[in-house]
Amino acid sequence: MPILDAIFGRRSVRRYKKKPVPRKVLRNVLEAGRLAPTANNAQPWHFIVVTDPEVKRALSRGRWNKFIEDSAFTVVGCGERASRWSTIDVAIALENMVIAAEAQGVGSCWVGDFKEGQVRKLLGIPGNLKVVCLVSFGYPDEKPRAPNKKSLEEIVHYNAF
Ligand SMILES: Cc1cc2nc3c(=O)[nH]c(=O)nc-3n(C[C@H](O)[C@H](O)[C@H](O)COP(=O)(O)O)c2cc1C
């Protein structure tokens, strides 16, 4: 799939087929994260890939994250607290994964609805890392309508605000 089709056509997908994602496809997704730009090439990140049904269920207890349970896998993006840029770096890497997944027919949804303490305890994440965000992935079982997006005229300014 051409890259612009993946970016322009992507929607947040919250219903997934019960169809596993092949290892090669998962690996491409993770590679897209690994190769993302990162300030000073510091790579201040760790990614926990959750495939275990019990763990996915435990992560999906909130109002806006129920779909984690049905995801093929959910990636928990963690950034080093000591790094000034880790939140941005992890976010870029996660979005690279989203686009790489989309290009391979795999849908995804970012999940900001999580309790850091609960996720940390559940997954054994050490104290030097913060949980930046989660993203769930899986083959789409819905075709979400395009949400309203602001026009370029509203948000882009040339040379000055
Ligand atoms: C940082 C971030 C956190 C998000 N958290 C959630 C969430 O907890 N639950 C959810 O259903 N969607 C979540 N989303 C998805 C947004 O709701 C979605 O991107 C937005 O409605 C625009 O729709 P689109 O992704 O289809 O363009 C999140 C997106 C981002 C970028």
pLDDT digits (tens, 9 = 90+) for 80-120: 999 999 999 999 999 999 999 999 999 999 999 999 999 99
pLDDT digits (tens, 9 = 90+) for 118-157: 999 999 999 999 999 999 999 999 999 999 999 999 999 9
C-beta 64 within 6 A of ligand 1: yes
Residue 37 has pLDDT above 90, yes or no: yes
Domain at 3-145: CATH code: 3.40.109.10
Rg (CA), the chain: 16
Ligand 1 center–CA 159 separation, angstroms: 30
Ligand 1 center–CA 70 separation, angstroms: 17
Question: What pLDDT does 1 receive?
Answer: 84
Domain boundaries, the chain: 3-145
C-beta 68 within 6 A of ligand 1: no
d(CA 150, CA 133) in angstroms, rounded, equals: 24
C-beta 65 within 6 A of ligand 1: yes
Residue nearest to atom 26 of ligand 1 (CA): 11
Question: What pLDDT does 20 receive?
Answer: 96
Are 6 and 124 in contact by the 8 Å Cβ rule? The answer is no
